[in-house]
Amino acid sequence: MTITTGKKEKIDRLAELAARDDERGVSLWQEAFRRLRRNPAAIIGAVILVLFVLVAVVGPFFVPYGPTDAIGIRDGVVKSGQGIIPGSSGEHWLGYDHQGRDVFSRMIVGARQTLLVGVVSTLIGLAIGALIGGVAGAAAGLGGRWGRAIDTALMRVIDMMLALPSLLLAVSIAALLGASLVTVMIAVGVVSVPVFARLLRGSMISQSHSDYVLAATSLGVKKSKIAITHVVPNSLAPVIVQATLTLATAIIEAAALSFLGLGNPDTAVPEWGVMLADAQPYLGIRPALAIYPAVAIIITALGFTLLGEAMREALDPKLRK
Amino acid sequence: MSLLEVDDLSVTFARRGQRTVHAVDGVSFSVDAGEVVGLVGESGCGKSVTSLAIMGLLPKQPGLRVGGKAVFDGTDLLQLDDRSRRDIRGRDIAMIFQDPLSSLNPVVPIGLQVTEVLARHRGMKGDAAAKEAAALLDRVGIPDPKRRLKEYPHQLSGGMRQRALIAMAVACKPRLLIADEPTTALDVTIQAQILELLKELVRDSGTALVMITHDLGVVAGMCDTINVLYAGRVVETARRRPLFREPRHPYTVGLLGSVPRLDAGRGERLNPIPGSVRDVLPWPDGCAFAPRCSRRIDACVGEPPELVLAHDGRSYRCVNPAPLPGVEPGQEVRGAVPTEAQPGSVPAQAVPNDPPAVQGFGPAPREEEKP
Amino acid sequence: MFRFIVRRLLQLIPTLFGLSLLLFIWLRRLPGGPETAILGERGTPEMRAAIRRNMGLDEPILVQYGRFVRRLIRLDLGTSTSTKRAVTTEFLERFPGTVELTVMALAIAIGLGIPLGYLAARRRGRLLDHASVGGSLIGICIPVFFLAYVLKAIFSENLGWFPSSGRQDPTIGATRITNFFVLDGLMTREWDAAADALWHLVLPGIALASIPLAIIVRITRASVLEVLNEDFVRTAEAKGLTERTVRRRHVLRNAMLPVVTSIGLLTGGLLSGAVLTETVFAFSGIGAFIYDAIGQRDYPVLMGFILIIAVVYVLVNLIVDLSYSLIDPRVRVR
């Protein structure tokens, strides 16, 4: 069979195209990342978060005033008792708060605190939840009378935790341990334990029923090896997504605790939730005092939520084409 | 004039940042009243999209473009507005889908799913509709139809579900029935029963049937005329007997050659078509099948092959078609003709029941092989 | 069906026992018992011991628990250590307020969320879709108490459209029967009392509804989008049914399944939100009371409350399961 070179090239090019198509079988994560980059919501979320982290980490070194420095009162500009709290000016971009402190500096330093509370409490929830869920999932996967019993018992505990209103759980933990920064973190973290536990257990069980695990088992791969190389990595994706989403709720939850007066009692460290709570009595005089931290909380939570949702979408096998 | 005349139908999906996909790229075929027409091809060749485009059931999405014509009884279905299309669907043209479980609404009883068609197109209500629905279920061979009307899809077996779907499709005695892989999701034994049922319904009511399938056995047992699709175009059209006996397009030859046979000698191997449907040349650049074709010549690449009209109303789209039998490749082809025991095809019992008009193709080659 | 309900209710008993024992032990471990709340930091050890003995807190924990259970069987939850009134009386007075508030919030969330989510799915990619998806994202991210303050500042303090606090105008002098103020007004035909109570529910109801509304919109939208792609919707279209029939009978009914499930999971969140909303609107429901009770170490109130929450949770999930089985014949209640 003879083919002129020009035409042959054409066919070769096609074969090439087809071959490139085959390369699409790249890893789940690469593919997810590629789709994440194309999603504007993910980009917005990521930009918000990068800015937030940047401000939280670097910002406090560059604040114009000390966050606890009552300059306004010292200078006699702020008389909150008489309802005089000056707003923004050239020197104090966001004005003073009721104790005469510079709001801009407090917002910047507060970002670090908010990030800290969010991350640590999410990690606490993730660690405990993953431990319970992982044990329950493994027990259910191994089966047997004991396996099922352990799984059932653990899930009963988790169900009870779910039944309790999360805030009351947090409030009673805060009451039990006494108000402190660590308490806030633990209280907020514990609230997210059931979510992580159920998620990890659920995806572990569904993974262990999947065909590739069956295939690996039939090839004689050890159960522990299957768990480490297949089940855990594949169960991880939804957990990471959930962690991102939980960061948003953790920040809001921490603010609610502060609002109820169970936040960090150490007033030397400003935190957005505390600032928002502190501003309540002055809503009539200067609502901006509440609006700044509230908007900051909303935008940060939005950033985590946008990114988390976009990640969920990117990792969803149903949406993959 | 034919009942349905599809002319140069094209469906393209344009997606932002991606290559435009030509799912259907100029398909033309026609269906006469009462005729059984097959659309055959590998998955991805555009046969299902063709049927959905005719029905106007393609999921609405930006970038979807449907071109060409689909003239049914004098009206171009593609030009109709949504309302008139809904009037025709289910009444004049009905459709049966591949997976009966997912094609039935899980939360609505079978009875309502049948009577809603009757209510919509025949204005039947209450007891009359229920009675008619029971009669329909009875007609498609569902035992104890009155009880089944109250049941939900998950309570029925796979075969029963497909029968129920068929009952809904034939409820208004449509003039055209489109069956999209109606047996693919079913067990082999059930497949034969369903095909038998379809054949019987079509014969009794004079409904034309478009059978969409990748299963040559189904085609051999049922169709009068067969259109072979490749990469969104019809590459060969022929009556059943000539197509199986003397396929002209190399793709058809390849399809027939890749069917496994029980009567093949032990040492004989299947002749699969090399490559996959993805190794496609865009039609404007030549024959889409060229990259996989064993009869490829220079003329295959560069320009799309014209449709060649041959005797007996058959046509093929190839510049170097397989020669007629008596010459070399015909022998192989004849060997590929389905016989009774083929896996996935119509079992033998289907053949003797064949009405004379559509005399089964199955026994014929055996007679020829004997001498 | 009946057997299913009975069995589920019977399952409540071991759950309540387990939960109450765990909580009993846990609550007793909270540092500083009611004596600290009563005496403050000043009381002498003798005075503290006297109060503890008086309340029976000096006995072994299991003895205390046994006494608690014996009383519980007679539906006696003891006496509040902070208000000195029977816990059941307190609850009968305050719980109806919270129930009214959460029902109002759920009504808003469901009544608005399902149509909005449905429309967003139908107009996918258009303005309404983007607006409701964006809106629901923001709804999830707004702290409930902040929204409550904003609503209160705008609609009651500035515009004066709604009352800013309380459950009902006391000057109406409405008759009390069930302590469900709206219901009482309707039962006694004191229409103005019912309307006033309803009016008081609007702002807190909206604030409390924000998160459930956002969740319901999102779930409805996602669920409708998924159902629209189902084969059976294509079948319904192939039958030539009118758009209305396809929508109601085939799309909506199936799309409701995940929504119903999610409503069951909202209860815990609603009660948390109720604490915050009730605080902002000085709404005398159970939330603010419980918050105080934690601070006061009011053990009888806390125990009683958590048991009631458990009962509510089980009942809500029972209702959810029953309504699920009504929509989906594949789920049979046994």
Tokens for B143, please give them. Answer: 């035992």
Out of C229, C230, C245, name the one closest to residue B116 (CB).
C245
Q: Work out the percent of chain B whose per-residue pLDDT is above 90.
A: 3
* CA A232-A234-A240 angle, 5° bins: 90
C-alpha pair distances (Å), A187 with each of A181, C143, C271: 10, 17, 17
Look-up: residue for tokens 């043209």?
B93
Q: What is the pLDDT of residue B178?
A: 92
Beta carbons of A110 and A275 less than 8 angstroms apart: yes
Is the CB of A160 less than 8 angstroms away from the CB of C291?
no
Identify which of B192, B194, B217, B224 has the alpha carbon closest to the alpha carbon of residue B356: B224
Beta carbons of C251 and C260 less than 8 angstroms apart: no
Can you give the C-alpha Rg of chain A in angstroms? 26
Judged against a pLDDT cut of 90, whether residue A120 lies above it is answered with: yes
**If pLDDT is split at 50, 70 and 90, which confidence band does B334 have?**
very low
Q: What is the pLDDT of residue B353?
A: 37
Judged against a pLDDT cut of 50, whether residue C175 lies above it is answered with: yes
Identify which of B303, B288, B281 has the alpha carbon closest to the alpha carbon of residue A12: B281
Q: What is the pLDDT of residue B328?
A: 45
Tokens for C17, please give them. Answer: 């026992």
Beta carbons of A196 and A250 less than 8 angstroms apart: no
Out of C240, C245, C330, name the one closest to residue B106 (CB).
C330
The better pLDDT of the pair B295, B330 is held by B295
Q: What are the residues whose beta carbons fall under 8 Å from the beta carbon of A177, sequence distance 6 or more? A: A183, A186, A187
Interface A–C counts its CB contacts (< 8 A) at 98
B226-266: per-residue pLDDT in tens?
A: 999 888 888 888 888 888 888 888 888 888 877 776 666 66
Question: Domain locations in chain A?
Answer: 40-319
| DSSP SS3 for B178 | strand
B176-220: per-residue pLDDT in tens?
A: 999 988 888 788 888 888 888 888 888 888 889 999 988 888 888
* CA A229-A233-A235 angle, 5° bins: 125
For chain A, list the contacting chains (3+ Cβ pairs, <8 Å): B, C
A248-268: per-residue pLDDT in tens?
A: 889 888 888 888 777 777 777
Which residues of chain B does A18 touch, with a Cβ-Cβ cutoff of 8 Å? 275-276, 278-280
C28-87: per-residue pLDDT in tens?
A: 766 666 666 666 666 677 777 777 777 667 777 778 788 878 887 777 777 787 788 888
- Chain A within 8 Å of C137 (Cβ-Cβ)? yes
Interface ipTM: 0.78
| DSSP SS3 for B260 | coil
Q: How close A108 gets to chain B, by Cα (Å)?
A: 40
Q: What is the pLDDT of residue C108?
A: 93
Beta carbons of C290 and C305 less than 8 angstroms apart: yes
A72-84: per-residue pLDDT in tens?
A: 677 767 666 666 6
List the alpha helices (DSSP H) in C123-169. Answer: 127-141, 144-151
Task: Report CA torsion sign: A166, A167, A170, A175.
Answer: negative
Judged against a pLDDT cut of 50, whether residue B276 lies above it is answered with: yes
Q: Return the minimum-mean-pLDDT range out of A100-104, B94-98, C131-135.
A: A100-104
Q: What is the pLDDT of residue B367?
A: 35
A285-302: per-residue pLDDT in tens?
A: 777 888 888 899 999 999
Is the CB of B281 less than 8 angstroms away from the CB of A14?
yes
Is the CB of C249 less than 8 angstroms away from the CB of B112?
yes
The better pLDDT of the pair B174, A280 is held by B174
Look-up: residue for tokens 């169709």?
B223
Which residues of chain C does B90 touch, with a Cβ-Cβ cutoff of 8 Å? 238-241
Spatial strand order in the sheet of B4-13:
B21-31, B4-13, B64-72, B75-76
What is the CATH T-level fold of the domain C87-327, as seen in this structure?
Answer: MetI-like fold (1.10.3720)
- Beta carbons within 10 angstroms of residue B235's beta carbon: 25
B110-122: per-residue pLDDT in tens?
A: 988 989 988 888 8
Identify the bridge partners of residue B37 per DSSP, sorted by sequence position: B210, B225
**If pLDDT is split at 50, 70 and 90, which confidence band does B340 have?**
very low
Judged against a pLDDT cut of 50, whether residue B371 lies above it is answered with: no
- Chain B within 8 Å of A1 (Cβ-Cβ)? yes
C86-101: per-residue pLDDT in tens?
A: 888 888 888 888 888 8
Q: What are the residues whose beta carbons fall under 8 Å from the beta carbon of B209, sequence distance 6 or more? A: B35, B36, B37, B176, B177, B178, B179, B198, B202, B222
Residue C123's φ and ψ, nearest 5 degrees, are -105, 45
Is the CB of C149 less than 8 angstroms away from the CB of A255?
no
Superfamily of domain A40-319: MetI-like (1.10.3720.10)
Identify which of B56, B54, B59, B24 has the alpha carbon closest to the alpha carbon of residue B41: B24
For residue B90, with 0-12 CB atoms within 10 Å meaning exposed, 13-18 middle and 19 or more buried, which class applies? buried
**If pLDDT is split at 50, 70 and 90, which confidence band does A20 have?**
very low
Report DSSP letters for C137-190, one per residue. Answer: HHHHHS-HHHHHHHHIIIIIIIS--S-SSSSS-GGG----SSS-HHHHHHHTT-
B348-368: per-residue pLDDT in tens?
A: 333 333 333 333 333 333 333
Residue of B nearest to C227 (CA): B105
A181-215: per-residue pLDDT in tens?
A: 888 888 888 888 988 888 888 888 877 777 777 77
Judged against a pLDDT cut of 50, whether residue A22 lies above it is answered with: no
Is the CB of C268 less than 8 angstroms away from the CB of A290?
no
Beta carbons of C269 and C211 less than 8 angstroms apart: yes
Q: What is the pLDDT of residue B266?
A: 65
Question: Domain locations in chain C?
Answer: 87-327
Across the range A142-167, mean pLDDT stands at: 78
Identify which of A246, A98, A276 has the alpha carbon closest to the alpha carbon of residue A185: A246
Tokens for C121, please give them. Answer: 């799915």
Q: What is the pLDDT of residue C301?
A: 82
Q: Return the minimum-mean-pLDDT range out of A159-163, B289-293, C106-110.
A: A159-163
